[in-house]
Amino acid sequence: HGECYVTDDGAETDLDLGHYERFLNIATTQANNITTGRIYNNVIQKERDGAYLGKTVQVIPHITDEIKRNFQLLATTGKYDIIITEIGGCVGDIESLPFIEAVRQIKWDLGENNAIVVHLTLVPFLKAAGELKTKPSQHSVKTLSEAGIQPDILVARCEHSLPDEIRRKLALFCNVDYESVIEAIDTDTIYDVPLLMQAERLDERVLTKLRLSSRRKPNIDKWKDFLYKIKNSKETVDIGLIGKYVELHDAYKSIAESFVHAGAINECKVNIKWIQSEELEKKGFNFDTLGELDAMLVAPGFGDRGIEGKIKAVKYARENKLPFFGICLGMQVAMVEFARNVLGIKKAISSEVKPDSKEAVIDLMEDQKNITAKGGTMRLGAYPCALREGSKAAEIYDAEEIKERHRHRYEFNNTYLERFEEAGMLAAGVNPQSELVEIMELKEHPWFIGTQFHPELKSTVNNPHPLFVSFVAAAIENAKRKKTESHNGAKESKNGKKKAVNSSEV
Q: How large a percentage of the chain has pLDDT more than 70?
A: 94
Question: Is 418 noted as a catalytic residue in this protein?
Answer: no
Note whether 179 and 208 are same-domain residues.
Answer: yes
What pLDDT sits at residue 364? 84
pLDDT band for 367, please (50, 70, 90 cuts).
Answer: low
Instruction: Classify residue 416: in a domain, yes or no.
Output: yes
Enclosing domain of residue 427: 234-483
Q: pLDDT of 305-364, one tens digit each?
A: 999 999 999 999 999 999 999 999 999 999 999 999 999 999 999 999 999 999 999 998
Catalytic one among 21, 411, 438, 456? Answer: 456
CA distance 266 to 248: 27
The number of residues making up the chain comes to 506
- Examine the pLDDT at 369 and tell me if it is beyond 80: no
**In the chain, how long is the greatest CA-to-CA distance?**
109
pLDDT at position 505 is 46
Residues 213 and 268 in one domain: no
Please identify, among 83, 99, 114, the residue that sits at the C-terminal boundary of a domain.
114
How many helices (H) does the chain have, and how many strands (E)? Answer: 15, 19
Is 441 annotated in the active site? Answer: no
Does 192 lie in the same domain as 122?
Answer: yes
Do 430 and 344 belong together in one domain? yes
Sheet holding 181-185, edge to edge: 118-123, 153-158, 181-185
180 and 319, same domain (yes or no): no
Say whether both 242 and 195 belong to one domain.
no
From 62, 119, 406, 454, the catalytic residue: 454
Average pLDDT over residues 59-66: 96
Is the domain of 100 the same as that of 210?
no
Amino acid at 166: I
1 has a pLDDT exceeding 90: no
Domain match, 66 and 96 both: yes
What is the pLDDT confidence band of residue 503, given thresholds at 50, 70 and 90?
very low
Judge if pTM exceeds 0.75.
yes
454 is catalytic: yes
Contact 262, 471 (CB under 8 A): yes
CB neighbourhood size of 431 (10 A): 18
Mean pLDDT of 132-158: 96
Look at the chain and report how many structural domains it folds into: 3
**Cα atoms in the 13 Å half-sphere on the side-chain side of 488:** 6
User: What are 264-294's pLDDT values in tens digits?
Assistant: 999 999 999 999 999 999 888 888 889 999 9
Given a cut of 70, whether residue 189 has pLDDT beyond it is yes
| Over residues 424-452, mean pLDDT | 96
Verify that 137 and 74 share a domain, yes or no: no
| CATH number of domain containing 394 | 3.40.50.880
Q: Looking at the structure, do residues 106 and 120 belong to the same domain, yes or no?
A: no
Q: What are 67-98's pLDDT values in tens digits?
A: 999 999 888 888 888 999 999 889 989 999 99
Domain co-membership, 168 together with 141? yes
> Which member of 328, 337, 352, 404 is catalytic?
328
- The neighbouring-strand residues paired with 440 are 427, 450
DSSP string over 380-391: EEEEEEEEPTTS
The predicted structure's pLDDT at residue 485: 84
